A = this chain, B = another copy of it.
């Protein structure tokens, strides 16, 4: 299953190496900004304003961000489409006016490929965003955009998730005539992240020791940061065996709040946008229910009474904050796995390309 030579592997070294590589990966993506602009121009020329995103795992988490990037920049409706509805149930939905964005690191995910083939045959504009433009998905889609994240060796995705988020922001930015602004914002984030990483690594190693006994956790984010909450939860599930569940601030008070007690930490993501009051209040209610709070995100300090703080820099473009906010969660997954005696580079039962069920 693994290409790792057992004798020289340091547990977590692949994961940490790719977390550290993220600023460079974002820079590489930006070298392709003109290609993103050209694809956005095609979608605009065809008058498309309904974006259907498909992908699994981290790719689907990035698509949660796309809902906000397309909604707030070109004001398009973007949805995470159901693959099973068309591929397994054969629903013949009208795809006129639709633009498909297929997200797959490998470009070999079978049901994403089947979805794109069907949609292209039915007249939709199909766009693949993949780390391997020469993959089957790259061949199947009408237009292909590279992630340019570099070869991914870690089973838990990190740099391919952040480049997917940046790719969706860049495409949405170009669709709105603001591609340059978004590109400059991504470049600034890459520099901020490069500066912040050493201190974040130390901080998350400390926090991980304190969370070594945790078996379940809620991760709270709202708006564009809901994608971050989903991605951090997935990292903790797959590398640390923590039952981490992503919730919006509003989800929390519609039931899950009742599950909280002192054994149930809550990771909160505070961003300097319209979602902050809701996240602050959800955090306060979780704390009142006995939960230990971990406050993260650019506005971590706005979360009152947290046991632990892991703030990230404030981006120049607020919508890009998820590129920074996810990193403490990635580092927690790396450090917590080691605190629990697990190797995050060898999660149980997972392989690099996921085949369809």
Which of B56, B243, B257 touches A251 (beta carbons < 8 Å)? B56
Query: Are B76's CB and A79's CB within 8 A?
Result: no
Residues in B neighbouring A354, C-beta threshold 8 A: 250, 253-254
Query: Are A257's CB and B350's CB within 8 A?
Result: yes
Which of A86-94, A186-194, A203-211 is found at the contact surface with chain B?
Answer: A86-94
Interface residues on A, range: 35 or more
Which of A18-26, A36-44, A66-74 is found at the contact surface with chain B?
Answer: A66-74
User: Which residues of chain A from 252 to 297 have any CB-CB distance to chain B below 8 Å in the complex?
Assistant: 253-261, 264, 273-275, 277-278, 281-282, 285, 288-289
Query: Are A85's CB and B72's CB within 8 A?
Result: yes
Query: Are B274's CB and A256's CB within 8 A?
Result: no
Query: Are A258's CB and B238's CB within 8 A?
Result: yes
Check if A234 is an interface residue, CB within 8 A of chain B. yes
Highest count of chain B CB atoms <10 Å: which of A56, A93, A289, A350: A93
Residue on B nearest A290 in the bound complex, by CB:
B348
Check if A114 is an interface residue, CB within 8 A of chain B. no
Known: A68-B82, A357-B249, A357-B250. A257 touches B88 (CB 8 A): no
Q: Whole-angstrom distance from the CB of A2 to the nearest CB of chain B?
A: 13
Residues in B neighbouring A82, C-beta threshold 8 A: 67-68, 71
Check if A159 is an interface residue, CB within 8 A of chain B. no
Check if A150 is an interface residue, CB within 8 A of chain B. no
Query: Are B259's CB and A238's CB within 8 A?
Result: yes
CA distance A257 to B347 in the complex (A): 9
Q: Whole-angstrom distance from the CB of A75 to the nearest CB of chain B?
A: 5
Check if A314 is an interface residue, CB within 8 A of chain B. no
Check if A200 is an interface residue, CB within 8 A of chain B. no
Query: Are A75's CB and B88's CB within 8 A?
Result: no
Check if A11 is an interface residue, CB within 8 A of chain B. no
Which of A128-136, A162-170, A215-223, A322-330 is found at the contact surface with chain B?
Answer: A215-223
Check if A239 is an interface residue, CB within 8 A of chain B. yes
User: Which residues of chain A from 58 to 84 have any CB-CB distance to chain B below 8 Å in the complex?
Assistant: 58, 60, 67-68, 71-72, 75-77, 79, 82-84
Residues in B neighbouring A67, C-beta threshold 8 A: 82, 85
Residues in B neighbouring A237, C-beta threshold 8 A: 255-256, 258-259
Q: Whole-angstrom distance from the CB of A92 to the nearest CB of chain B?
A: 6
Residue on B nearest A52 in the bound complex, by CB:
B77
Check if A356 is an interface residue, CB within 8 A of chain B. yes
Q: Whole-angstrom distance from the CB of A114 to the nearest CB of chain B?
A: 12
Which of B75, B222, B289 touches A93 (beta carbons < 8 Å)? B75
Q: Could you show 8 A-B contacts with beta carbons less than 8 Å apart? A: A71-B91, A72-B85, A75-B93, A75-B94, A253-B357, A258-B350, A288-B349, A289-B348
Kindly list the 7 A-B residue pairs having the minimum CB-CB distance in the complex, ordered from nearest. Answer: A57-B254, A238-B255, A258-B347, A278-B357, A216-B243, A241-B259, A88-B274
Contacts A234-B256, A281-B357 supplied; 8 other A-B pairs, CB < 8 Å:
A56-B254, A72-B89, A79-B79, A84-B278, A111-B250, A249-B357, A253-B357, A289-B348
